[in-house]
Structure 1
Amino acid sequence: MPNRLSDATSPYLLQHADNPVDWWPWGEEAFAEARRRDVPLLISVGYSACHWCHVMAHESFEDPATADLMNTLFVNVKVDREERPDVDAVYMEATQAMTGHGGWPMTVFATPDGAPFYCGTYFPREHFQRLLQGITSAWRHKRVDLVEQGQRVVDALSAPRRLASSPPPTAADLDLAVQALIRDYDTTAGGYGDEPKFPPSMLLSFLTAQHERTFPFQTADEPTPAALMAGGTAVAMARGGIYDQLGGGFARYSVDRGWVVPHFEKMLYDNALLLRAYTRLSRRPAEGDAGADPDRELLLRVAQETADWMLRDLRTPEGGFASALDADSEGEEGTYYVWTPERLREVLGEEDGAWAAALFDVTEEGTFERGSSVLRLRSDPDDPERYDRVRAALLSARADRVPPARDDKVVASWNGLAIAGLAEAGALLGRPDWITAAREAADLVLDVHLRYGRLVRTSRDGAPGPATGVLEDYANLAEGLLALHGVTGEARYVREAGGLLDTVLDHFGDDEGGFFDTADDAEKLFSRPQDPTDNATPSGRFAAASALLTYAALTGSERHREAAESALSVVPLLAEKAPRFAGWGLATGEALLTGPRAVAVVGDTGDPAVEEMVRAVLRWAPLGTVLSRGDGRDSGGVPLLEHRAPIEGKATAYVCEGFTCKLPVTTIEELLAQLAG
Structure 2
Amino acid sequence: DGGNFEGNTILANNINASSLGFKFGKSEPEIENLISKCSEKLLEIRNKREQPGKDDKIITSWNGLMVSAFLSGYRITDNSKYLDAAKQSIDFFESNFEKNHILHRTFKNAEPKLNGYLDDYAYMANASVDMFENTSQPKYLSFATNLANYLITHFWDDSTNGFFFTSDDHEKLIMRPKNNYDLSMPSGNSVAAYVLLKLYYITQNKQFLEIAKKIIESQAISAAENPFAFGYLLNALYLYYQKPTEITIINGKNSELVSYLRKKFLPESITVLVESQSNLEALSKYPFFSGKEFQNDKTTVFVCKNFSCSLPLSDLSEIEKEL
1:2-41 equivalences in 2 (<5 Å):
none
Partner of 2:186: 538
- Could you report, residue by residue, the CA deviation over 1:123-162 in whole angstroms, capped at 9, with x for unpaired residues? xxxxxxxxxxxxxxxxxxxxxxxxxxxxxxxxxxxxxxxx
Check conservation: 1:482, 1:493, Cα contact below 8 A.
Answer: yes
Q: Distance in 1 between matches of 2:53 and 2:137?
A: 36
Check conservation: 1:413, 1:472, Cα contact below 8 A.
Answer: yes
Which residue among 269, 283, 297 is the counterpart of 1:637? 283
Q: Structure 1 residues 480 and 506 mapped into 2: Cα distance closer, same or farther (>3 Å)?
A: same
1:541-620 equivalences in 2 (<5 Å):
541-603=189-251, 607=253, 609=254, 611-620=255-264
Q: Structure 1 residues 556 and 659 mapped into 2: Cα distance closer, same or farther (>3 Å)?
A: farther
1:42-121 equivalences in 2 (<5 Å):
none
1:485 maps to 2:129: no
1:515 maps to 2:158: no
User: Quick check: 507-516 or 570-579, which moved more?
Assistant: 570-579
Partner of 2:105: 457
Identical amino acids, percent of aligned pairs: 24
Using the TM superposition, give the Cα deviation of residue 574 of structure 1 relative to its aligned residue in structure 2, in angstroms. Answer: 2.5
- Could you report, residue by residue, the CA deviation over 1:570-621 in whole angstroms, capped at 9, with x for unpaired residues? 34313322212111101221222321222111116xx2x1x44443233224
Using the TM superposition, give the Cα deviation of residue 510 of structure 1 relative to its aligned residue in structure 2, in angstroms. Answer: 0.8
1:414 maps to 2:84: no
Which residue among 498, 501, 511 is the counterpart of 2:148? 501
Q: Distance in 2 between matches of 1:600 and 1:405?
A: 48
Check conservation: 2:74, 2:80, Cα contact below 8 A.
Answer: yes
Aligned AA (2:320) = L
Using the TM superposition, give the Cα deviation of residue 485 of structure 1 relative to its aligned residue in structure 2, in angstroms. Answer: 1.1
Q: Distance in 1 between matches of 2:71 and 2:52?
A: 28
Using the TM superposition, give the Cα deviation of residue 674 of structure 1 relative to its aligned residue in structure 2, in angstroms. Answer: 1.7
- Could you report, residue by residue, the CA deviation over 1:82-123 in whole angstroms, capped at 9, with x for unpaired residues? xxxxxxxxxxxxxxxxxxxxxxxxxxxxxxxxxxxxxxxxxx
Aligned AA (2:70) = L
Q: Distance in 1 between matches of 2:174 and 2:101?
A: 27
Q: Distance in 1 between matches of 2:204 and 2:52?
A: 47
Q: Structure 1 residues 614 and 567 mapped into 2: Cα distance closer, same or farther (>3 Å)?
A: farther
Using the TM superposition, give the Cα deviation of residue 494 of structure 1 relative to its aligned residue in structure 2, in angstroms. Answer: 0.3
Check conservation: 1:448, 1:462, Cα contact below 8 A.
Answer: no
Partner of 1:622: 266
Partner of 2:118: 471
- Could you report, residue by residue, the CA deviation over 1:447-506 in whole angstroms, capped at 9, with x for unpaired residues? 2355442111110222212x1011111111010011011112212100111001011111
Q: Which TM-score applies when normalising by structure 1?
A: 0.39
Q: Structure 1 residues 537 and 451 mapped into 2: Cα distance closer, same or farther (>3 Å)?
A: farther
Aligned AA (1:475) = A
SS of 2:156's partner is coil
Q: Distance in 2 between matches of 1:424 and 1:615?
A: 13
Q: Structure 1 residues 612 and 550 mapped into 2: Cα distance closer, same or farther (>3 Å)?
A: farther
Check conservation: 1:424, 1:487, Cα contact below 8 A.
Answer: no
Q: Distance in 2 between matches of 1:529 and 1:633?
A: 46
Using the TM superposition, give the Cα deviation of residue 432 of structure 1 relative to its aligned residue in structure 2, in angstroms. Answer: 0.4
Using the TM superposition, give the Cα deviation of residue 413 of structure 1 relative to its aligned residue in structure 2, in angstroms. Answer: 1.2
Using the TM superposition, give the Cα deviation of residue 544 of structure 1 relative to its aligned residue in structure 2, in angstroms. Answer: 0.6
Using the TM superposition, give the Cα deviation of residue 408 of structure 1 relative to its aligned residue in structure 2, in angstroms. Answer: 1.5
Q: Structure 1 residues 614 and 526 mapped into 2: Cα distance closer, same or farther (>3 Å)?
A: farther
Q: Distance in 2 between matches of 1:642 and 1:469?
A: 35
Aligned AA (1:523) = E
Aligned AA (1:594) = Q
Check conservation: 2:118, 2:166, Cα contact below 8 A.
Answer: yes
Q: Distance in 1 between matches of 2:109 and 2:316?
A: 45
SS of 2:321's partner is helix
Q: Structure 1 residues 558 and 660 mapped into 2: Cα distance closer, same or farther (>3 Å)?
A: farther
Partner of 1:308: none
Partner of 2:91: 443
Check conservation: 2:75, 2:263, Cα contact below 8 A.
Answer: no
SS of 1:665's partner is coil
SS of 2:272's partner is strand
Partner of 1:666: 314
Aligned AA (2:126) = E
- Could you report, residue by residue, the CA deviation over 1:13-34 in whole angstroms, capped at 9, with x for unpaired residues? xxxxxxxxxxxxxxxxxxxxxx
Q: Structure 1 residues 652 and 404 mapped into 2: Cα distance closer, same or farther (>3 Å)?
A: farther
SS of 1:457's partner is strand
Aligned AA (2:147) = L
Using the TM superposition, give the Cα deviation of residue 445 of structure 1 relative to its aligned residue in structure 2, in angstroms. Answer: 1.4
Structure 1 stretches lacking a partner, 5+ long: 1-331, 351-396
Check conservation: 2:244, 2:269, Cα contact below 8 A.
Answer: yes
Using the TM superposition, give the Cα deviation of residue 560 of structure 1 relative to its aligned residue in structure 2, in angstroms. Answer: 0.8
Check conservation: 2:135, 2:275, Cα contact below 8 A.
Answer: no
> Aligned pair count?
282
- Could you report, residue by residue, the CA deviation over 1:223-251 in whole angstroms, capped at 9, with x for unpaired residues? xxxxxxxxxxxxxxxxxxxxxxxxxxxxx
Aligned AA (1:541) = N
SS of 1:407's partner is coil
Q: Which TM-score applies when normalising by structure 2?
A: 0.79
1:529 maps to 2:177: yes
Structure 2 stretches lacking a partner, 5+ long: 1-8, 20-38
1:154-303 equivalences in 2 (<5 Å):
none
Aligned AA (1:617) = L
1:376-415 equivalences in 2 (<5 Å):
406-415=54-63
Aligned AA (1:623) = P
* RMSD over equivalenced CA pairs, Å: 2.7
